[in-house]
Amino acid sequence: MGASLLFGRCGRQILAALILIVLVHAPAHASAASNSPTDDLGGIGVRLLDKPADAGEDPRALLYIVDHLAPGSLISRRIEVTNTTSESAAVSMYAAAAGIEGDHFVVADGHTPNDLSTWCTVLPAMKDVPAGGAATVTVTINVPADAAAGERYGVVWAEVRSGAASGIVQVNRVGIRLYVSVGTGAPPAANFTIDSLTAQRSPDGLPTVLATVHNTGGRALDLAGSLEMLNGPGGLSAGPFPVTPGFTLAIGSSGQVTIALDERVPDGPWDATLTLHSGLLERSATASIIFPESGSALPVPTTAVEEAFPFAAIGLAVALVLCGLVLLFMLSQRRRHA
């Protein structure tokens, strides 16, 4: 059945988008493109150096500026800008607007502002980064005292312009996302449900699963994860198959996560288990699905997979308590015979 069909349960793959890169050729509008720090010609890269102290091991806080701020508060975050090209680069640094449309994080054209971007100051605003070198800039977010509660989105851009002498200006931008929630007290809790799984076949016959997900929490979600297929024909297992990356779900909205499977996966029936995560938040759900010969089957409601009861942790705690009681008893006996 090929390497992608496995007998037994496999480790899940975690996919995360590290950076946003937008290429703009004036006077044309912005168009999304992908790039890699390992490109032969090199490029400009950015990475976040700081994260909130209470973020723990949250992977989103390592990639993006994700924070909950009270009105009137001020924070600073450092960003490292790298230049892996063979020439020095004059890099312009600034914040601009972004938002969530459908199930994607969408950046605005050029220097388009919004509330969040106007609260941001990036210093230095212009930096010459030597070939093969790096520089550090500081982003300061100053939330007005009268700012309304809610989550806002933006991007801190590192921009390089070239080709002015030819009359056609090429603008390369690489950025770090901003997810800033404003409000008093504790940050809104993130949460979501996986409501249904739909088995379908693409026009070329590729088996695909669509998962309907509902954001029931108070923060936007960047969802990644994988699908495992168990108890198939003849006891076959398949996967895990990664979720198509780049899925961002706005507060209160629903969307469909896509998982493309191996073309050799048989119709089923299958016990499909989907595991999704956004930061440290993780949810799993299962449903029995059968792939149609063509088109789409009906959505199948899922059953949430509850987290395993922590018997090991409870056992360890009980053992520590018992050890403590034994130690106290031995000490009391020693004092009596002293």
Report pLDDT digits (tens) over 218-266: 999 999 999 999 999 999 999 999 999 999 999 999 999 999 999 989 9
172 plus 233 within the same structural domain: no
Mean predicted confidence (pLDDT) in 40-66: 84
Count the Cβ atoms, other than its own, within 10 Å of residue 51. Answer: 19
More confident residue, 314 or 123: 123
Mean pLDDT of 44-62: 85
Predicted confidence at residue 12, as pLDDT, reads 33
Do both 67 and 164 map to the same domain? yes
Tally of structural domains, the chain? 2
Query: What pTM, to 2 d.p., does this model score?
Result: 0.77
Confidence class for position 54, pLDDT limits 50, 70, 90: confident
Domain of 257 in residue numbering reads as: 192-304
Q: Please state, rounded to an integer, the average pLDDT across all residues of the chain.
A: 83
Residue 8 within any structural domain of the chain = no
Kindly tell me if the per-residue pLDDT of 321 is higher than 90. no
56 has pLDDT over 90: no
Q: Which of 30-39, 61-70, 276-285, 314-323 has the lowest mean pLDDT?
A: 30-39
Q: Is the pLDDT of residue 36 over 70?
A: no
Percentages helix, strand, coil for the chain, rounded to the nearest 5? 15, 45, 40
Is residue 260 within 8 Å of 240, Cβ to Cβ?
no
Report d(CA 246, CA 251) in Å as an integer.
16
117 and 254 share one domain: no
Helix (H, G, I), strand (E, B) or coil at 115: helix
User: Per the domain annotation, does 232 fall within a domain?
Assistant: yes
pLDDT in tens, 174-199: 999 999 999 999 999 999 999 999 99
Q: How many CA atoms lie within 13 A of 41 on its CB side?
A: 2
The residues pairing with 289 across neighbouring beta strands, listed in sequence order, are: 270
147 pLDDT more than 60: yes
The pLDDT assigned to 163 comes to: 67
How far apart CA 30 and CA 156 sit, in angstroms, is 16
Is 111 in the same domain as 82? yes
Binning pLDDT at 50, 70 and 90, where does residue 165 land? Answer: low
Name the token pair of 192. Answer: 């979501």
Question: Between the CA of residue 105 and those of 175, 225, 233, 247, 291, what are the distances in Å?
Answer: 13, 18, 39, 8, 31
317 lies in a domain?
no
* pLDDT value at 35 more than 80: no
Same domain, 241 and 137: no
Is residue 309 assigned to a domain? no
Each residue's pLDDT tens digit, 116-129: 999 999 999 999 99
Domain boundary residue among 138, 163, 182? 182
Strands 170-182 and 65-69, by their bridges, are parallel
Which candidate, 150, 85, 87, 167, places its Cα nearest to that of 115? 150
